[in-house]
Structure formats: C-alpha cells, structure tokens
C-alpha cells in the first residue's frame, strides 16, 4: 500500500483483500479512487430513487420488507421508512439494477448493485460513520470486485454480478479486523449464486431485482462476522472454494493481486446515460447519431439493420418479444425495440422508456423493421466490441455508423455535472419525489463527503421529509 502499511505476501487472496479493506485509510487513496467512489454513490443513490417510483417489479419486494418491519435501522430509499439493515439492503438492492441504469465495468457486470445498498445499510446501522470511512469502503469494494471480475475465466454461465457481488467490504464500515472481514467473505459464499438465464430470460422479473440477493447476503455476512461467526480462511482458493466451484479453478492470482493497495481498479467504473442494458448502448448511440445527423424521417425507414456479436444477439431473440416487449424489463433487454425507440425519440432518457412507450405505434412499427445480422467479429471476448447500425431508407439511401465514443463509455465517460443532472432527474422520479433542494443537498454532501462526520446525512437529505 502507498501509505506504508504492509500487506502480507504469502496470505491467500481472501486474506490479502481483507487486509486491504481493514487497513486502508481515506488519506492514502488515490484521487481517481475517491472520485470513482463519490460518483458511484451519487449515481447509485439516484438510480435506486428512480426505480422506487418507476419500476413495478420492485413493489413486491418493498411490500415484503414493510410487512416484516422490525427495528428501524436503515432506510428503504424512495419510500420514507426504515427496517432492519439486512431488509433495507434487500429492498435497495432490488432497486439498484431494476432500471438497468446502474454503473458497470468496461468488461461487463455490475459492482455497485450490491456494494452501495450494502454499505449504506451498514452505515445507518452502525451510526456515526464518517464520510471518509464510507468512501474508503466503496473504493475498496469496487477494487475487490473489479480484480475478481477481470481475472477469472467467466463463461457467461454464472451471473458474476451476484456470484462475486456478495464479497463486499462492508466490514470496513463496521471497523472489523482483517480476520473478521475474511470470515465475512466465507459467510457470504453461502449467498453466492445466480445464473445468466435469470438476467436475460424473456418474461422474468428477476432480471430487474436480482441485486436484492447479493446485497442482503453481503450485509448479513458482515453483521455476522462482527458478532464473531467464523467460517474458513481460504474460501476463494481451496479445492472446493469459489474459484474451483464457479470458474473451474481458472483464475490469474498474480494479476488479481498486482499493485494491490496502490492501483484501485474500481476507478474504471462507467456510468450510463440511458436506462438500458449496456450491451445495447453502442447501437443506441449509432442510431441516434444517424437519425439526428442526417435528419432522417423514421416513417421513411425501410430497414434498420443491427450488426451483432454473440452478446448483442441475445438481445434480439426471441424476436417477437425483443421487438414488442410487454414489460419495461423486457424493453431494456430488447435491442430492436431500444434502437427503434432511440430513433423515434432521438434520445433515450429515463422518462422516454415508459409503459406508454411500449404501445407507441411509431416505435412498434419501426421495431418490426429491425433486422439483426450476425457478425462474428463483434463477439465478446474481453471488452465488448462496438455495435454497427445500417439504416436503409425507402428510396434506397443507406447510412452506416459504428457506435464509437458512446456516451458513458471509457472513451466518453460521464462528467460529474452530467451525473448530477441524471441524479436530479432520478430523484424527482422517486415514489416520494425528492424536491430540488434535497437533490442539490445530496449532491453537495457527496461531492464533499470526506468533510462529513456522519455519512448518514446523505440519506437524510433524500428521505422525502424535506
């Protein structure tokens, strides 16, 4: 670590991660790690608030935790009530990814869908957690997830966001020792699960709310470790551990631990300008660009061709659902519908993707004209290739564009001001809308989080009580 703290060289991966989580201090974090943690907190908080008011699938989860009630330890965002910390993490985790508007890594998968609901619930549970400690916990959590994600051989079978998302650094918020945090990893392994069919399978609501499960699992694990529950020391690398069980023992230990405590890899996190699966964003960007730059009348489009690799193609089948989705969740996973909506509206804001949009005759007519063309050169090997769109007009004119420099991508990352505007729109869409004053206060608090003695003030600013 760059603060002079020694991390043991011989310890297993879990213990090395746990040592980092227990020992890191805000004052020794690189600036890019602090910035990423703050952006992630602002973005995730906004997305959860928006989901509370716009995504129907979260309501049964919120109703369930409300019925269970219990001690008022942590906030259910957007709804103005508190429940036990594990239940709050469950409800907020369900909202964290339900709009598919949350952040993601350049290589795919979502760290914050479980990390942020977990650390916020534990922050309120403990009380008096400083802004510096919350930033440190988020920065370490992002780093651990990214190091795990990038250095295992993922065959797109297990849902990495849930399998690895339970191994969070919430113990940093609780002030646990390295040994206790490593035990929390072992405890959390009991909740590591989930397959990709749940994420993208047509007709399921679970693709929206699956973040609930790793968030609750990570929170429960941290609290149990704090109470002295002991697991094993080698949950990742034992012969029957995480790496062997989920990834056939195929992982790069050296890369996973390279520059640990110096290079905080969570700073690679990307933020979305559009509430849809990131796999579709380059096609959306190319479509908006073609229609806008050439001032195309969508009524005159004869065919809208999307060239797709293996990951893109999943969003095109079955075509009858991907072109005419019946739910908002299906719409966010339907590439034909998304490019049709983007072409018709020349944008894809959170307010554009609504129940009414699912029945828009102009959008549905254009979606029927979308043709998916398989291109093996666009297959997802490590980084997802940019999609290609070709628009054929009724008079034979053709326009082609590669979805390069997509907003929110590593080539065109969202700025703090852009995230602030996104947060304001999201907060206004909450089940209990957050007034402009509350949204501005929350943004200011997060921007200056290291100066705050009690990080729970951020949650109070959007509680709906102003």
Helix/strand/coil for 343:
helix
3-class DSSP assignment, residue 174: helix
pLDDT tens per residue, range 158-193 = 999 999 999 988 999 999 999 999 999 999 999 999
Give the DSSP H/E element, type plus range, for residue 375.
none
**Closest C-alpha among 10, 21, 43 to residue 237:** 10
- For domain 13-271+416-461, which CATH number applies: 3.40.50.300, 1.10.3720.10, 2.60.120.620, 1.10.4100.10? 1.10.4100.10
| Strands 74-76, 81-83: pairing kind | antiparallel
pLDDT for residue 1: 38
Distance in angstroms (rounded) separating the CA atoms of residues 168 and 185: 8
Strand partners, 306: 372, 389
Nearest to 128 by CA among 453, 442, 446, 450: 453
Q: Mapping DSSP to helix (H, G, I), strand (E, B) and coil, where does residue 97 land?
A: coil
Average pLDDT of adjacent 10-residue blocks, the chain of 466 residues: 49 94 96 98 97 94 96 97 98 96 90 97 98 98 97 91 94 97 97 86 83 98 98 94 96 96 96 94 97 97 98 94 93 96 90 87 98 96 91 98 96 95 94 94 98 96 70
Radius of gyration of the chain (CA): 22
Could you tell me the CA-to-CA distances from 50 to 47, 136, 186, 430 in Å, in that order? 5, 26, 33, 5
pTM: 0.92
Q: Which CATH class is domain 278-402?
A: alpha beta
103 Cβ contact list (under 8 Å, min separation 6): 39, 40, 43, 44, 110, 111, 112, 269, 270, 271, 272
Domain boundaries, the chain: 13-271+416-461, 278-402
* The pLDDT of residue 7: 57
Q: Does an H or E element contain 390, and which? A: strand 388-393
- At 9 the pLDDT is 60
Mind listing the pLDDT tens digit for each residue in 337-386?
Answer: 999 999 999 988 777 788 899 999 999 999 999 999 999 999 988 788 99
């Amino acid at each position: 670590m760059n603060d002079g703290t020694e991390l043991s060289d011989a310890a297993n991966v879990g213990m090395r991660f746990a040592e980092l989580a227990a020992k890191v201090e805000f004052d020794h974090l690189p600036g890019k790690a602090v910035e990423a943690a703050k952006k992630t907190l602002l973005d995730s908080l906004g997305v959860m608030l928006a989901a509370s008011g716009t995504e129907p699938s979260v309501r049964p989860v919120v109703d369930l935790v409300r019925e269970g009630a219990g001690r008022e330890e942590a906030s259910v965002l957007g709804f103005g009530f508190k429940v036990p910390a594990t239940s709050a993490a469950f409800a907020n985790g369900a909202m964290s990814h339900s709009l598919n508007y949350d952040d993601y890594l350049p290589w795919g998968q979502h760290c914050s869908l479980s990390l942020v609901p977990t650390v916020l619930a534990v922050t309120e549970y403990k009380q008096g957690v400083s802004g510096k400690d919350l930033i440190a916990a988020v920065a370490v959590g992002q780093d651990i997830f990214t190091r795990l994600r990038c250095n295992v051989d993922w065959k797109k079978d297990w849902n990495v966001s849930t399998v690895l998302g339970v191994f969070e650094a919430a113990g940093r918020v609780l002030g646990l020792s390295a040994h206790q945090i490593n035990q929390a990893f072992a405890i959390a392994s009991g909740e590591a699960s989930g397959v990709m069919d749940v994420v993208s399978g047509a007709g399921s609501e679970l693709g929206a709310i699956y973040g609930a499960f790793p968030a609750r699992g990570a929170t429960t694990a941290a609290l149990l470790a704090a109470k002295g529950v002991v697991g094993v020391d080698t949950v990742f690398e034992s012969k029957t551990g995480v790496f062997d069980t989920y990834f056939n023992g195929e992982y790069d230990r050296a890369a996973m631990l390279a520059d640990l405590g110096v290079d905080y890899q969570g700073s690679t996190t990307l933020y979305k300008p559009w509430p849809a699966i990131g796999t579709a964003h380059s096609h959306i960007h190319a479509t908006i660009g073609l229609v806008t730059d050439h001032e195309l009348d969508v009524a005159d489009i004869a065919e809208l061709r999307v060239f797709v690799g293996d990951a893109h193609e999943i969003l095109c089948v079955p075509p009858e659902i991907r072109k005419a989705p019946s739910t908002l969740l299906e719409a966010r996973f339907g590439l034909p519908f998304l490019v049709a909506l983007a072409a018709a509206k020349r944008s894809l804001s959170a307010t554009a993707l609504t129940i009414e949009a699912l029945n828009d005759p102009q959008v549905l007519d254009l979606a029927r004209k979308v043709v998916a063309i398989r291109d093996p050169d666009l297959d997802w090997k490590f980084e997802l290739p940019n999609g290609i769109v070709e628009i054929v007009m009724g008079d034979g004119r053709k326009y082609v564009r590669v979805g390069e420099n997509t907003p929110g991508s590593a080539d065109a990352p969202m700025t703090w001001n852009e995230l602030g505007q996104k947060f304001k729109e999201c907060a206004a869409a909450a089940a209990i809308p957050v007034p402009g004053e509350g949204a501005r206060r929350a943004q200011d608090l997060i921007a200056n989080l290291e100066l705050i003695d009690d990080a729970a003030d951020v949650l109070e600013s959007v509680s709906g009580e102003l």
